[in-house]
Amino acid sequence: MAGDPPRRLEAPRWSVRIRILASILAVTAIGMAVAGATTYLVQRDRVLAGIDDRLLAHVESARVVLTGESDAAAGDLTQVAVPAAAATTTAEAVRAVLSRVIPGANESSVGLVDGTPTYIPGVAIDFHLEDDRAFLDRMVAETADGTVRMGTAVSPLGQLRYVAAPISVDGDPQQGLYVTAIDVDEQLSELTSSFLAYPLVAAASLLAVALVGWFVAGRLLRPIRELRAAASRISARQLDERIPVVGHDDVSDLTSTVNSMLDRIDAEVQGQRRLLDDVRHELKTPVTIVRGHLELLDPSDAADVAATRSLALEELDRMTALIDGIESLADTSGPALAVEVTDVAALTRDVFRKASVVADHEWTLAEVAEAEVPLDPDRITQAWLQLVDNAAKYSRPGTAIDLGSTLRGDEVELWVLDSGPGVPEGAEQRIFERFGRAHQGRGVSGSGLGLSIVKAIATGHGGRVSLASSPRGSRFAIVLPRTTGTPEETP
């Protein structure tokens, strides 16, 4: 229809299996073609070199027949000069050569006297040079200077590789010429015919490679297909499926990596679900309390209004603290830490100065570690003060609280020691979880996020939190490596 945008032609989408197989076949075909062509050319050069050797051997044989000597080592390419004692006439010398030097397969010889073909071999030959007068005239002209000539001629008889050797007898004015030639096409025919079968063999080999490659590529890519199928089935509600790991190769390593990624995603999603459930539970109570009091509020009773207002503000403050805690926890799991080499002693004294203003307790700087550690001072201060607040909250007023830093091998501990009732047995891990509380012996209410934030900051530095508790008090510590470590996952 007029006005419709032109449709784009999309290129066909080929599967990875087909592309791998096509690449293998292309490289194999090119390799076979290059190998076949190289082998053929090398063998052809050998045949041609053998032809030249045979022709020169015939010339030397003719020289031996007429003179009894060979000058092959000297490379003599001059005419064959025959002493008068060896032959009376040039014609006799030419006849002697033609009768003694016998042509081989795909060869022919002729003897000329004064340019006229006079003698031919007395054996059956494949072709007759005397039938091509133009070729003989060319031989006479090329050897007019008395030198042996070797070359290639395209004749009605075929493509001929020839040698022409002049023959003369002392005292005889006639000029003889011995010509022998080899049909190059016929000499190469056996090699050519054998290589005509090479394309068929190569095609059969390519077919075998294609079949084997198809099944091998399919087997190697099977985990990837399973990975794709599993990825299409996985959703936010179904993250428990994993891909079977088969073998010990790169594809199996990829499968293991994807399974690990799915484990991390599953853990994150489960953590988010738990956080939402915990937040919903924590916010539900103050909302219910405020709503209940507002529904029972007597607007005409000033005292009731004031009490309800005070209670609502308290609950709103608790919800605000909860939201602030969630925001702080998200910050510790978000951007990278601003790590710098920090003087632990100076950091310890700074945190102690801030902690010592907390009322109703006796604060003591018990120990100071002299060391420099890579850390984010703001985050560590936040976590350390959270331990200070936790100790002050769960210790009786007027009791002593110690604070300090200690070197232990390759680690440094930033600790707070209170004199509270201690953490109940079995609650040591729970109190570091989001909204986790001891529920026994430490009855002060709170958001339940403080120690979770401390743990997140510690693991973000590649460290951990530690707890040693008894009925006489608890020692909370942030344990950090003295060298930069790999941050663990924040829960």
Q: How far apart are CA 210 and CA 21, in angstroms?
A: 7
Q: How far is CA 349 from CA 27, 375, 415, in A?
A: 71, 16, 13
Confidence of residue 133 (pLDDT cuts 50, 70, 90): very high
Q: Does the structure show a pLDDT above 80 at 404? A: yes
Q: What is the pTM of this model?
A: 0.50
Q: What is the mean pLDDT of the chain?
A: 80
Nearest to 169 by CA among 66, 83, 77: 83
Nearest to 365 by CA among 375, 356, 357: 356
Give the pLDDT of residue 285.
58
Task: Determine which of 31-40, 76-85, 307-316 has the lowest per-residue pLDDT on average.
Answer: 76-85
Q: Does the structure show a pLDDT above 50 at 126? A: yes
Give the pLDDT of residue 365.
93
Q: Which amino acid is it at 212?
A: V
Give the pLDDT of residue 6.
56
Long-range contacts of 439-447 (CB under 8 A, 24+ apart): 442/394, 444/393, 444/394, 445/318, 446/393, 447/282, 447/318, 447/321, 447/322, 447/325
Percent of the chain residues past pLDDT 90, beyond the cut: 20
Q: CB–CB of 383/356 below 8 Å?
A: no
3-state helix, strand, coil in the chain (%, to 5): 50, 20, 30
Give the pLDDT of residue 218.
83
Nearest to 186 by CA among 101, 125, 126: 126
Nearest to 56 by CA among 121, 150, 178: 150
Q: CB–CB of 139/148 below 8 Å?
A: no
Classify 116 as helix, strand or coil.
Answer: strand
Confidence of residue 441 (pLDDT cuts 50, 70, 90): very low
The domains found in the chain, sorted by start residue, are 14-233 (3.30.450.20), 250-321 (no CATH), 336-481 (3.30.565.10)
Per-residue pLDDT averaged across 33-45, rounded?
Answer: 90
Confidence of residue 27 (pLDDT cuts 50, 70, 90): very high
Highest mean pLDDT range out of 65-69, 231-235, 458-462? Answer: 458-462
**pLDDT tens figures, 291-350:** 777 777 778 888 878 888 887 887 777 677 667 666 665 555 545 678 899 999 999 999
DSSP string, 399-450: -EEEEEEEEETTEEEEEEE--SS-PPTT-TTGGGSTT----SS------S-H
Per-residue pLDDT averaged across 271-300, rounded?
Answer: 71
Q: How far apart are CA 377 and CA 149, in angstroms?
A: 98
**pLDDT tens figures, 362-377:** 899 999 999 999 998 9
Query: What is the number of helices (H) and of strands (E) in the chain?
Result: 10, 13
Highest mean pLDDT range out of 221-225, 310-314, 358-362? Answer: 358-362
DSSP string, 301-346: -HHHHHHHHHHHHHHHHHHHHHHHHHHHHHHHTSSPP--EEEEHHH
Per-residue pLDDT averaged across 190-206, rounded?
Answer: 87
